[in-house]
Amino acid sequence: MFEDQQSWTSVSLFGVFVALLLLHLLHSNFNSDKKPEPPGPRPVPLFGNLFQLNLKRLDQSLLNLSKKYGPVFQVSFGPQKVVVLAGYRTVRQALVNQAVEFGNREITPAFFVINKGYGLVLSNGDSWKEMRRFALATLRDFGMGKKMSEEIIIEECNYLIKEFEQFEGHIFDKTKAVHYAVTNVISALMFGKRFEYKDPVFQAVVDRDNEIIHLVGTASLWLYNVFPWLGPFLKNCRDLIKNVEGNKVDVRKIIADLKKTLNPEVCRCFVDAFLIRRKHLEDSENKILHYHDDNLLYSVLNLLQGGNDTTANTLKWSLLYMTKYPLIQARVQEELSRVVGSRQVQTEDRKNLPYTDAVIHETQRLANILPMAILHATSKDVTFQGYFISEGTTVVPLLTSVLYDESEWESPHSFNPSHFLDKEGKFIRRDAFIPFSAGRRACIGESLARMELFLFFTSLLQHFRFTPPPGVSEDELDLTPVVGFTLCPRPQNLCVVRRN
């Protein structure tokens, strides 16, 4: 009897095994048309892949994973799946060739603190489309990237040169003046005026902007994005809110003053253009859905932040690289002296300054100011390189992997201006040079930033030579970045010497 029972149990187990096998085969056949998801490391419940990522240098962690899992892979930030795009060809295919599918913005909890879903950068839908369209048209009307903005930049170059003259022959680490100069350019377009570098309100706005961008890239803010309930317990989160609210108060005051003196017949600046546009819509009894105070405030804040941090930090990197590589600095200055002489550099001189132009581009490439593009999200279900990515998935275009792509750059980890020069020494464009990102979400102020970098850099190199402080060699200068959402150079002493 026991043998019969044992036999029956074996038959039952075999039957269960066969049934499970059939169910698996049926399920596999039923889902045979479903595209596989991108590969990636195995997540653990609740925490996902957080223990496998270095949140203090997230771009490097993701770059290392791309070498194992390929150019399209996924990781889990807690319970949330995130798709990472690595390498020039993959990033371009997504952001340019499939721009609509990858064109939404992921609004993380930290991003919501900054913008509340309004403005130009951290928004989606019709509001974003209208604000971007308006901003592009208005900035072009005010000469962004043209002669009018060139005059604004050249005027500010003179103020910055005077600031640097105070340190002639002495050690200095006061690079905040670079941020003030760059911010004044966008301030002239936003508010129709520049500010004195010693203006305490102006200093506070600029310093808060820099702190906001730094905080958003810290490890604790990445954790806040995954577990928002941690916010009240995180100092960086409290500091982010404090800085955002402080800047909102100060910028609202500037906007309020412009409202009081508004003349609809005379458009002085971006704020005026917005207010005049709103008044025209009101007078014609059209809906003014997107032309409200929140979109004005956050659009101005976006442009101030974007017009300050990345351009100023690129200029700071350029001065550090010139100090680190004195032979390159000398060659830039020889070209400037030969082509321009002592007169003010103009934008049109760029075509006759190929080596200088190559040095500026190589600074942008190697400095890698924005290692990860601001987070994207898919606008619909999409099949990409054979992988299925569902609508609403967070996407990280890894710009580090583009600017350091070993299949695109001859010496990706070295400062090499020859990346942008042909055999005859003429400047050449490189497709994989996308420090401003690409596609629908590319930097709205790219043309202005390019003009600023050229004019500020050449003006400073015309007037000054940059050296390490006494007792410090070029080799001892530290190129390790301070990591936030952008990468900026570490504070360190340099010497500025007036050129004869």
Sheet with 80-85, side-by-side order of all strands:
72-77, 80-85, 394-397, 376-377, 104-105
48: β partners: 44, 77
- Collapsing DSSP to helix, strand or coil, 464 comes out as strand
Closest CA to 169 of 469, 426, 388: 469
Q: Are 382 and 98 a contacting pair, CB within 8 Å?
A: yes
Angstrom distance (rounded) from CA 321 to CA 315? 10
Angstrom distance (rounded) from CA 289 to CA 476? 56
Q: Residues near 155 by Cβ (< 8 Å), separated by ≥ 6?
A: 194
* Distance between first and last Cα of the chain: 110
Angstrom distance (rounded) from CA 69 to CA 39? 6
- List residues forming the annotated binding site: 443
Which tokens sit at 142? 């005010």
168: β partners: 496
Beta strands in 305-450 (DSSP E): 376-377, 382-384, 387-389, 394-397
Angstrom distance (rounded) from CA 236 to CA 218? 8
Q: Residues near 94 by Cβ (< 8 Å), separated by ≥ 6?
A: 85, 101, 102, 384, 395, 397, 439
Place of tokens 């464009």: 429
Torsion angle, alpha carbons of 140, 142, 145, 147, to 10: 130
- List residues forming the annotated binding site for heme: 443
Angstrom distance (rounded) from CA 83 to CA 39? 9
Angstrom distance (rounded) from CA 392 to CA 105? 9
Burial of 276 (0-12, 13-18, 19+ CB in 10 A): middle
Q: Are 325 and 395 a contacting pair, CB within 8 Å?
A: no
Q: How many CB atoms lie within 10 A of CB 178?
A: 23
Q: Are 400 and 59 a contacting pair, CB within 8 Å?
A: yes
